[in-house]
Amino acid sequence: MLQIRVDGTAPVVTVTVPAQGGSYGQGQVVNAAYTCADPASGVATCAGTVANSAPIDTSTSGLKTFVVSTSDVAGNVAEISVAYTVTTSATGPDLLVTALTGVPSSVVPGGRFSVTDTVLNQGNAIAGASTTRYYISENTQKSAGDTLFTVTRAVVSRGPGQISTGTRALTVPMTMTPGTYYVLACADDLEKVTEINEANNCRASSAVVVVGRPDLVATAVSNPPPVVTPGGTFSVTDTVANQGTAMSGASTTRYYVSPTPSKTSASKLLTGTRAVASLAPGAPPSQGTKTVTVPTTTLLGTYYLLACADDLARVIELNESGNCAASATQVTVTRPDLTVTVLSNPPTTAAKGSKFGITETVSNEGLVGAGPSTTRYYMSLNTARDAADRLLMGGSRAVPAIGAGSAHPAPAPVMVTVPTTVASGTYYVLACADDLRRVTEANETNNCRVSTTTVVVP
């Protein structure tokens, strides 16, 4: 759905020089310093009484006014007027920050970035050594609520018109409240130098920095196959996005089968992971395909497929509970199921040591294919397979692999021999599929089929 955002906020004007209420000597060269900022639609115009970095009027003594007007692309306007005084007797240094660069668009609490600032002595006397300190502030003016960075920069003595430029790495406190801030650099912040103007030492960054955290979310995952066996493999394609307000570090996506669309203690971790590189907030998402393996210990059942971003919890996020995406369809973890579905009846009588033929059909009633197996045949005093049953000699048939829902009939009768040691009596004939247990099945109790009639062994 198309969203239209209207910028109804006026741009912000910051005038560093001349300072509000500042005092300058008559004829003193004082260069204007001001900025216009508009994070929404952008600055269209920004103009002062004189151009930025041009000398302000100090030609005559008295109260002066300096005006900066600005407009943004959306048509909002703002204007600020600064009053300063030109005196005939002002003498001394005047330190101020004329440039501040390197502020990033976003940073996490505990994150680090480097800024470069320039300090100018615009006074008419030598300034002794001083210290520049840095703050993070909700606005462009230094106030009691601003957070002081622990790093400082030493500025050596500077003569009139001389500058000092340096770079420092700033670390955002871990306790910093997420939000939008300016960075301030303040010359002679320990007030060791007595200046003509003590109110113009600080400069605010022209752009804001968003202090926040990333939020990695799996936004899509492909559907699994309809069925898979424990130990089986299949391919997964997933998408991970950073929906937070700060850059994320590298992370790992892992995959699960789960009885519900949410990750719980019942979810089963699959073998196979995907490495996701750093993602900027709002950047194109990361998409990839991996082959995963269902653990052999997975219980048979129906599951959703989950893809879970940052599943090793290497990235501290805005929201740690919404990392997973569930498939729209489910996968059934199952096994083949071999059973004898057709069995011929034995002859009415069969002497000890005699032979007779058996025909049968082995069917795979499972949802996945079965590997090769062996069917064997027994004589039983009852209709159930038990320890008293006697294996018919020579009585086995090699059954090839059978696909899901398919069957394999014996191509010819299998000739079996009645054991000479069998006790005389009346017996059923049993045919038992996968009797050597070479195939792990969904149901291991339904492999045998019993004849409908009996055979008498005299």
CB 33 within 8 A of CB 197: no
Across 380-408, b (16+ Cβ under 10 Å) vs e yields beeeebeeebbbbbebbbebeebeeeebb
pLDDT of amino acid 85: 87
3-state secondary structure string, the chain?
CCCCCCCCCCCEEEEEECCCCCEEECCCCCECEEEEECCCCCEEEEEECCCCCCECCCCCCEEEEEEEEEEECCCCEEEEEEEEEEECCCCCCCEEEEEEECCCCEECCCCEEEEEEEEEECCCCCECCEEEEEEEECCCCCCCCCEEEEEEEEECCECCCCEEEEEEEEECCCCCCCEEEEEEEECCCCCCCCCCCCCCCEEECCCCEEECCCCEEEEEECCCCCEECCCCEEEEEEEEEECCCCCCCCEEEEEEEECCCCCCCCCEEEEEEEEECCCCCCCCCEEEEEEEECCCCCCCEEEEEEEECCCCCCCCCCCCCCCEEEEEEEEEECCCCEEEEEECCCCCECCCCCEEEECEEEEECCCCCECCEEEEEEEECCCCCCCCCEEEEEEEEEECCECCCCEEECCCCEEEECCCCCCCEEEEEEEECCCCCCCCCCCCCCCEEECCCCEEEC
Least Cα distance to 62 among 37, 38, 30, 86 occurs for: 86
CB 216 within 8 A of CB 317: yes
Q: Distance from first CA to last CA of the chain, Å, rounded?
A: 86
pTM confidence score: 0.66
322: Cβ–Cβ under 8 A, 6 or more apart, which residues?
A: 215, 217
How many Cβ atoms sit within 10 Å of the Cβ of residue 455? Answer: 19
CB 121 within 8 A of CB 92: no
CA distance linking residue 269 with residue 291, whole number of Å: 13
Query: Structure tokens of 158?
Result: 């500077």
How many Cβ atoms sit within 10 Å of the Cβ of residue 453? Answer: 11
pLDDT of amino acid 89: 61
Domains of the chain and any CATH numbers: 12-87 (2.60.40.10), 95-211 (2.60.40.10), 216-333 (2.60.40.10), 338-457 (2.60.40.10)
Least Cα distance to 132 among 52, 197, 193 occurs for: 193
CA distance linking residue 229 with residue 299, whole number of Å: 10
Peptide bond into 18 cis (omega under 30): yes
Query: Structure tokens of 28?
Result: 């003193």
pLDDT of amino acid 7: 80
Query: Structure tokens of 54?
Result: 């041009």
How many Cβ atoms sit within 10 Å of the Cβ of residue 339? Answer: 22
CA distance linking residue 367 with residue 335, whole number of Å: 7
Least Cα distance to 22 among 88, 86, 96 occurs for: 86
| pLDDT by position in tens, the chain (length 458) | 555 567 889 999 999 999 999 888 787 889 999 999 998 889 999 999 999 999 999 988 789 999 999 999 999 999 999 999 888 666 899 999 999 999 998 899 999 999 999 999 999 999 999 999 999 999 999 999 999 999 999 999 999 999 999 999 999 999 999 999 999 999 999 999 999 999 999 999 999 999 999 999 999 999 999 999 999 999 999 999 999 988 899 999 999 999 999 999 999 999 999 999 999 988 999 999 999 999 999 999 999 999 999 999 999 898 888 899 999 999 999 999 999 999 999 999 999 999 999 999 999 999 999 999 999 999 999 999 999 999 998 879 999 999 999 999 999 999 999 999 999 999 999 999 999 999 999 999 999 999 999 999 99
